[in-house]
Amino acid sequence: MSPQKIPAIVIGRLPLYLRVLTQIDSTKVKVTSSQEMGEYLGISSAQIRKDLLHFGEFGKQGTGYNVRFLKSQLMKILQVDREWNIALVGAGGLGTAIVKYAGFQGRGFQIALVFDNDPSKIGQTLENLTILSSNNIKQEIELMKLKIAMVAVPAKYAQEVTNQLIEAGIRSILNYAPTNLSVPPEVRIVHIDPVIGLQHMTYYL
């Protein structure tokens, strides 16, 4: 099935399945089931089977799924069976925490470029990366042919930075700035705002 025809909500669940399979694989268990995966995630086994069927037959009824095989197939589907270099714009508190986050290792991603517009930060080293001037975004990203970027700048600068990234060839953006950004249809953007998550939870308190 064409990637465009698969519901975005299904694609959004695949990384959860991959994370669970990685956890199960670390315990040396060789076979799992949609029911076991569902218990980890709070998702029905029927939903998991339906999601996976969009991409093919990965298991047999009554036998379950080979953990490593399904894990490798999901990595291929999500294209994280390779390593993606990422540009990060914003070397403030959040940007620094992102660069230092160890969770990228072994999961298909690596911060390769860091940009900031603060003269006191430009030229400084952050986890073996030299912080570059935001004025050089287009030049540096085009040189490395990057396709993914993260935006961790104040909201008032986020759209301007996003425009620069798109002009440089970026096609996927993870936005940490607390604002909606305007991007063309061919650019995929995901917004991460912890306050929205908290507001969602406080409704139930």
% pLDDT > 70, the chain = 97
Domain edge (last residue) among 28, 47, 77: 77
Tell me if 203 is assigned to some domain: no
Nearest to 40 by CA among 53, 54, 25: 25
Mean pLDDT score, 87-94: 96
Does one domain contain both 127 and 181?
yes
Instruction: Tell me, yes or no, whether 193 and 101 share the same domain.
Output: yes
Looking up tokens 């953990």 gives 67
pLDDT at residue 57, rounded to an integer:
85
pLDDT digits (tens, 9 = 90+) for 12-61: 999 999 999 999 999 999 999 999 999 999 999 999 999 999 998 887 77
Determine how many CB atoms are found less than 10 A away from the CB of residue 152. Answer: 25
CATH of the domain at 54: 1.10.10.10
Question: Do residues 120 and 162 share a domain?
Answer: yes
Where does 18-146 show beta strands of DSSP type E? 31-32, 59-60, 64-66, 84-89, 109-116, 125-126, 129-133
Q: What CATH number is attached to the domain comprising 135?
A: 3.40.50.720
Please tell me which residue, 190 or 1, carries the higher pLDDT value: 190
Give yes or no: residues 100 and 176 share one domain: yes
Q: How far apart are CA 51 and CA 53, in angstroms?
A: 5
> Is residue 47 domain-shared with residue 91, that is, in the same domain?
no
Query: Based on the domain organization, do 91 and 162 belong to the same domain?
Result: yes
Same domain, 147 and 179: yes
Residues of the domain holding 95: 84-197
Examine the domain organization and report whether 114 and 183 are in the same domain: yes
User: How many CA atoms, within 13 angstroms, populate the side-chain half-sphere of residue 22?
Assistant: 10
Strands 109-116 and 84-89 turn out to be parallel
Number of H helices and E strands in the chain, helices first, is: 8, 10
Task: Verify that 128 and 65 share a domain, yes or no.
Answer: no
- The predicted-structure confidence for 158-183, as pLDDT tens digits, reads as follows 999 999 999 999 999 999 999 999 99
| Alpha-carbon separation of residue 204 from 42, 184, 195, 199 (angstroms) | 18, 36, 15, 9
Count of domains in the chain? Answer: 2
